[in-house]
């Protein structure tokens, strides 16, 4: 009898452990959502349709309570885009000066990344070790020589055609423009500026947010190419601006990022993918103190997200 009771006890303990372990496994899987996301072949909801009034109000109030930031925003010298990804069934979007096109230095190298991926997918370029190496150098270290080599392989018409492709519309004059690369990242070479303001390396906060949003949903070129682009952008090797602060407040989050700086133009864009917080943040600035402002912006965005639960 005691033996039977002992066996039953062991079986019950094993069953309880299995149930607990199953629950833990489910929780771990829930927290480790893989990228790019799979949408079960459903059509992706356009980001503009995910604009959220509460998030928008909180973002505007938080940014404008700083008198300097308010002045920069009013003068169209500061633009911010935010996509709240904490609830993937209720993604929310907000921006300030989101359609204002600005010089963005190296940030538009993400457009080169997309155009190269498109060319590789279509067989217009061979997927050589040299190209793959330059793609990573361009993203992780913002290497100008690597980027220029890729631009020379593509040509400006190819980059423009991809950005204006109806599938992406990452440059759209009716939406304030967007991403544009019209010059080599070198002292030599002709300029092919974008049509609205004549900027060679341009971006809008809204279109950069759309780039990341489409990327995480596997909508840029293909799910496989989107995954490859994410691999090129993960674990940035430059630890300034957004990354400087996020590595402190979200040390365990995965970071996918591209930034840019030239003179008093400062730009940053990042996908933060962690267990607790997931969001896309874009900041474009024209100010001598732009580096510090972008670091501070991360802390303000943390407050905006907390208020917008």
pLDDT of 13 > 70? The answer is: no
**Residue 46, domain member (yes or no):** no
Report the chain's mean pLDDT, rounded to a whole number.
90
**Residue 188, domain member (yes or no):** yes
Total structural domains within the chain: 1
- For residue 40, what pLDDT is reported? 67
**Residue 38, domain member (yes or no):** no
- Rounded Cα–Cα distance for residues 93 and 85 (Å): 9
- CATH code, domain carrying 82: 3.40.710.10
**Residue 251, domain member (yes or no):** yes
157-194 tens-digit pLDDT: 999 999 999 999 999 999 999 999 999 999 999 999 99
- Rounded Cα–Cα distance for residues 116 and 164 (Å): 15
**Residue 153, domain member (yes or no):** yes
% residues pLDDT > 90 (the chain) = 85
17-58 tens-digit pLDDT: 333 333 333 333 333 458 999 766 778 999 999 999 999 999
Full 3-state SS string of 84-149: ECCCCCCCEEEEECCCCCEECCCCCHHHHHHHHHHHHHCCCCCCCHHHHHHHHHHHHCCCHHHHHH
128-140 tens-digit pLDDT: 999 999 999 999 9
Residues 6+ apart with CB under 8 A from 212: 83, 256, 269, 271, 280
**Residue 21, domain member (yes or no):** no
Mapping DSSP to helix (H, G, I), strand (E, B) and coil, where does residue 270 land?
strand
**Residue 303, domain member (yes or no):** yes
Domain that holds residue 100: 51-307
- For residue 6, what pLDDT is reported? 45
User: Measuring CA to CA, which residue among 227, 221, 212, 235 is closest to residue 167?
Assistant: 221
**Residue 200, domain member (yes or no):** yes
pLDDT of 12 > 80? The answer is: no
- For residue 14, what pLDDT is reported? 33
- For residue 300, what pLDDT is reported? 97
């Amino acid at each position: 009898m005691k033996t039977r009771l002992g066996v039953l006890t062991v079986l019950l303990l094993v069953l309880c452990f299995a149930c607990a372990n199953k629950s833990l496994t489910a929780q771990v899987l829930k927290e480790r959502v893989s990228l790019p996301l799979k949408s079960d072949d459903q059509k992706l909801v356009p980001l503009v349709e995910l604009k959220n009034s509460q998030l928008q109000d909180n973002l505007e109030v938080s940014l404008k309570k700083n008198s300097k930031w308010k002045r920069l925003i009013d003068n169209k010298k500061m633009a911010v885009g935010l996509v709240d990804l904490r609830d993937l069934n209720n993604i929310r979007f907000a921006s300030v000066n989101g359609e204002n096109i600005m010089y963005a230095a190296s940030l538009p190298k993400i457009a080169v990344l997309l155009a190269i991926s498109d060319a590789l997918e279509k067989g217009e370029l061979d997927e050589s070790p040299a190209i793959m190496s330059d793609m990573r150098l361009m993203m992780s270290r913002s290497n100008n020589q690597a980027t220029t080599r890729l631009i020379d392989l593509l040509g400006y018409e190819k980059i423009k055609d991809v950005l204006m492709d109806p599938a992406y519309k990452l440059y759209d004059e009716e939406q304030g423009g967007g991403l544009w690369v019209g010059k080599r990242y070198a002292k030599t070479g002709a300029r092919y500026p974008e049509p609205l303001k004549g900027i060679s390396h341009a971006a809008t906060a809204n279109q950069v947010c759309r780039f990341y949003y489409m990327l995480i949903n596997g909508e840029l070129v293909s799910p496989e190419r989107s995954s490859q682009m994410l691999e090129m952008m993960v674990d940035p090797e430059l630890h300034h601006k957004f990354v400087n602060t996020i590595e402190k407040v979200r040390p365990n989050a995965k970071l996918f990022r591209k930034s840019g700086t030239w003179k008093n133009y400062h730009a940053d864009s990042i996908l933060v993918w962690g267990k607790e917080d997931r969001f896309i943040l874009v900041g474009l600035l024209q100010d001598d103190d732009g580096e510090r402002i972008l670091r501070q912006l991360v802390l303000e965005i943390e407050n905006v997200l907390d208020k917008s639960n």
